[in-house]
Structure 1
Amino acid sequence: MKNIRWGLVFYSFLGIAALVGLTVLMGLINRKDGSQVCKSLKVNVEGKETFIDQQDISKMVNNQFGTIVGKQLQQIKYQEIEEAIKKLPYVSSAVIHTDMDGTVTVSVKQREVILRVINSDGREFYVDTKGHKIPVTLKYVPHVLVANGKIRESYTKALEPIETETVKDLVKIVNHVTGNDLWENQIVQIYVNDQNDIELIPRVGKELLVIGSADSLDYKLKRLEMYYKNILPKVGTEAYAKVNVKYGGQIICERREGWYMDSLQMKINMKN
């Protein structure tokens, strides 16, 4: 008896008792989960857009899968509901989980759009941050740039990727000017003319800003900044119909009266 390590025996017994208690508790929980019913359906919609709301998701779930509240938790088809929600064109992701009190929570994240496109056929769609086409809805109109004109990008179904170089260039422009105080405030629309050149329509001034494509975009925008800082204050907002920085090393200003071309050859010092 003296050689028995009572401390070890005590702790071993305590560990076995705890294990048995945990097993019994898990069994009770599993039995409770099996008979537990959904007491409430909670929907959280994340994202700055408001294409969809809690009522839209709740209505869709109840219409496609029957009324959730009052149904046993084990009978709810969680994975199928998640997949159905993910198929909505405005949804980026969806996750469902349940609480011990019987609350089923649906967490939905919306897609973020950055551009509204009106193609040459008059079809409209949004482009999201992943480069997918999102359908236009009358329920919500996000505050994003609109691009129109000679845009040959087709639209047949939601979530198809953008294909043409023109729209890819438009997306590059939007991403480039986002966060820039000057250009976010100054550019109100983007237009693709008959020569397939991209034009920026400014908020202040009546001249069109021709940049051609999204190549060397930073260099082109810096030349436009030089126009606003060094030329516009001298000639005023009525002097030119177009300001073209499509070609390197130049700022070509087209006078509003007639078609006289006033070409200003400028050497750009990138350090200045």
Structure 2
Amino acid sequence: MKNIRWGLIFNVFLGVIALGGLVVLMGLISRKDAVQVCTVLKVNVEGKETFIDQHDISRMINNQFGAIVGKELKAIKFEEIENAIEKLPYVSNAEIHADMDGTINVNVHQREVILRVINRDGKEFYVDTKGHKIPVTLKYVPHVLVANGKIQEGYTKPLEPIATKMVHDLIRIVEHIKGDELWENQIVQIFVNEQSDIELIPRVGKEVLVIGSADSLDYKLSRLEMYYKNILPKVGTEAYAKVNVKYGGQIICERREGWYMDSLQMKINMKN
């Protein structure tokens, strides 16, 4: 009797009891899940945009899958609901799960748009952070830059990718000035003229800023910044109709009263 390890036997006995209790508990939970009904449908929509809200998602679910509240959980097609939500053009991804009390939680993440494009035919679409086209809606107008003018790219269906260099250039400009204290506040619109040159429309001043394309963007914006710091204070906001930095090594200022051109040749270096 002295050699019997009673402590070990006691621990094994407790383990067997705990395991048995766990099996019984899981069985009870399984039987409860088999008859548990949805008591509440909770929808949470995340993201900085408000293209859609909780009511839109709840209405879509009920329209496509019938009334969810009161339906047994085992009869609810969770994966199909997720897939249906993610097909909405304003949704990035969706997750759905049920709690033990019958609450169904739906978490929806919206797409973030960075640009609104109005092409030469008047067709409009948004571009999201992943380069997909998003349809315009009257329900919500996000605060993003608008690009219009001679833009050929069209729109046929939601979420199709950007196809032309021009719109890719417009996106590069938007992404470049985002977070820049000067340019994010100063640029209010982007325009593509008849020569297919990109123009920036400033908040302060009446001159149009011509950059041509998004190539060498840092270099072009640095020359425009030089214009604002060194030239504009001397001539005022009424002097020029256009400021062109399309060509390297110079800032071309077109006088408002005629076609006389001021060509300011300069070396772009730290001393200047």
TM-superposition CA deviations, 1:58-117 (whole Å, max 9, x none):
000000000000000111000000000000000000000111111000000000000000
Aligned to 1:130: 130
Question: What pairs with 1:35-184 in structure 2 (closer than 5 Å)?
Answer: 35-184=35-184
Question: What pairs with 1:225-264 in structure 2 (closer than 5 Å)?
Answer: 225-264=225-264
TM-superposition CA deviations, 1:183-203 (whole Å, max 9, x none):
111001000011111000001
Q: What's the CA shift for 1:271?
A: 7.0
Whole-angstrom CA distance in 1 between matches of 2:238 and 2:225: 18
Aligned to 2:265: 265
RMSD: 0.8
Q: What's the CA shift for 1:260?
A: 1.0
TM-superposition CA deviations, 1:197-235 (whole Å, max 9, x none):
100000111100000110110111010000000000000
Q: What's the CA shift for 1:27?
A: 0.6
Whole-angstrom CA distance in 2 between matches of 1:100 and 1:54: 22
Equivalent residue of 1:127, what SS? strand
Equivalent residue of 1:125, what SS? strand
Please tell me the residue identity of whatever aligns with 1:227. Y
Please tell me the residue identity of whatever aligns with 2:156. T
Aligned to 1:204: 204
1:65–1:190 distance in 2 versus 1, CA, 3 Å: same
TM-score of the pair, normalised by structure 1: 0.99
Whole-angstrom CA distance in 2 between matches of 1:61 and 1:270: 60
Equivalent residue of 2:224, what SS? helix
Please tell me the residue identity of whatever aligns with 1:80. E
Whole-angstrom CA distance in 2 between matches of 1:99 and 1:79: 16
Q: What's the CA shift for 1:257?
A: 1.2
TM-score of the pair, normalised by structure 2: 0.99
Q: What's the CA shift for 1:3?
A: 1.4
Alignment gaps of 5+ in structure 2 = none
Please tell me the residue identity of whatever aligns with 2:115. L
Q: What's the CA shift for 1:270?
A: 4.4
1:270–1:173 distance in 2 versus 1, CA, 3 Å: farther
Whole-angstrom CA distance in 2 between matches of 1:125 and 1:164: 14
TM-superposition CA deviations, 1:34-67 (whole Å, max 9, x none):
1000000000000010000000000000000000
Whole-angstrom CA distance in 2 between matches of 1:249 and 1:17: 84
Whole-angstrom CA distance in 2 between matches of 1:163 and 1:174: 17
Whole-angstrom CA distance in 2 between matches of 1:248 and 1:262: 15
Q: What's the CA shift for 1:131?
A: 0.2
Whole-angstrom CA distance in 2 between matches of 1:263 and 1:134: 42
Please tell me the residue identity of whatever aligns with 2:249. G
1:141–1:240 distance in 2 versus 1, CA, 3 Å: same
Q: What's the CA shift for 1:4?
A: 1.0
Please tell me the residue identity of whatever aligns with 2:228. Y
Whole-angstrom CA distance in 1 between matches of 2:263 and 2:126: 37
Aligned to 2:192: 192
Whole-angstrom CA distance in 1 between matches of 2:242 and 2:163: 29
Query: Identity of counterpart residues, as a percentage?
Result: 81
Equivalent residue of 1:104, what SS? strand
TM-superposition CA deviations, 1:111-140 (whole Å, max 9, x none):
000000000111000000000000000000
Please tell me the residue identity of whatever aligns with 1:133. K
Alignment gaps of 5+ in structure 1 = none
1:218 aligns with 2:211: no
Q: What's the CA shift for 1:154?
A: 1.1
Equivalent residue of 1:58, what SS? helix
Q: What's the CA shift for 1:248?
A: 1.1
Please tell me the residue identity of whatever aligns with 2:75. Q
